[in-house]
Amino acid sequence: MEEALAIIAIILVGVHTSSLKAALLALSCFFSAAAGWAQNSDVPKPKQPVATIGGQAIYDDELLATVQGQLFSLRNQEYDIKKKALDSLIEQKLLETAAKKKGLETEKLLQQEVDSKIQEPSDEEVKANYLAQKDRLNRAFDEVKAQLSQALKQAKIQQARQDYLRSAH
């Protein structure tokens, strides 16, 4: 059905005004036929049991009543996953478009526009990060200072990249 609508839309784009009436008539016939087809596909089917136990049938509506809450939760999770994936794809496409306009690869654009603007973490930031993790690290500050500094910078870059991508749309 969607493919047919896309084909009709393409046809209508190429239609001249003089043949617009004919195209609209054809389109009207198509939608009438599609509506009839849709109505025929909605004809209720006889109830089929999903299981039979000891001669007693269990029907889909009984099953749905017991799992409705779980299915609702799963559908919400599915929606959230798809939304996040779509947002990510949109951000990626926008990034690719921006990079293409500047004649750069996406990674190079991010390095120029984002990464290069991130400063090294201050000694105070590194020390505060160390103190927050001191019990878990079980090592002296001087031993982990360089690693903590690099990790903080990477975290700042990641956040700045996310902010940059979100601001692009």
> Does 67 map to a domain?
no
> Does 52 map to a domain?
no
Same domain, 93 and 33: no
> Does 111 map to a domain?
yes
> Does 98 map to a domain?
yes
> Does 58 map to a domain?
no
Contact of 113 with 164, CB cutoff 8 Å: yes
The one-letter code for the residue type at 168 is: A
Domain, as residue range, for 24: 1-43
Cα–Cα dist 139/131, whole Å = 11
| pLDDT (tens digit per residue) in 91-107 | 999 999 999 999 999 99
Same domain, 126 and 78: yes
Same domain, 88 and 160: yes
Same domain, 38 and 79: no
> Does 124 map to a domain?
yes
Same domain, 79 and 37: no
Same domain, 77 and 138: yes
pLDDT number for residue 3: 52
Cα–Cα dist 117/76, whole Å = 38
| pLDDT (tens digit per residue) in 1-46 | 555 544 554 444 444 444 545 554 555 555 555 555 555 555 667 7
pLDDT number for residue 12: 46
> Does 59 map to a domain?
no
pLDDT above 70 covers a percentage of the chain that reads 73
Q: What is the DSSP letter of 140?
A: -
User: Which of 60, 8, 61, 58 is CA-nearest to residue 30?
Assistant: 8
Contacts of 157 (CB under 8 A, 6+ apart): 114, 115, 118
Same domain, 146 and 76: yes
Residue recorded with tokens 């749905």: 64
Contacts of 4 (CB under 8 A, 6+ apart): 30, 34
Burial 113-122 (b: 16+ CB within 10 A, else e): bbbeebeebe
Stronger pLDDT, 47 or 113, i.e. the higher one: 113
Same domain, 33 and 82: no
To which H or E segment does residue 110 belong? helix 106-113
Could you give the number of structural domains in the chain? 2
The mean per-residue pLDDT over the stretch 78-82 comes to: 97
pLDDT number for residue 44: 65
pLDDT number for residue 120: 96
> Does 139 map to a domain?
yes
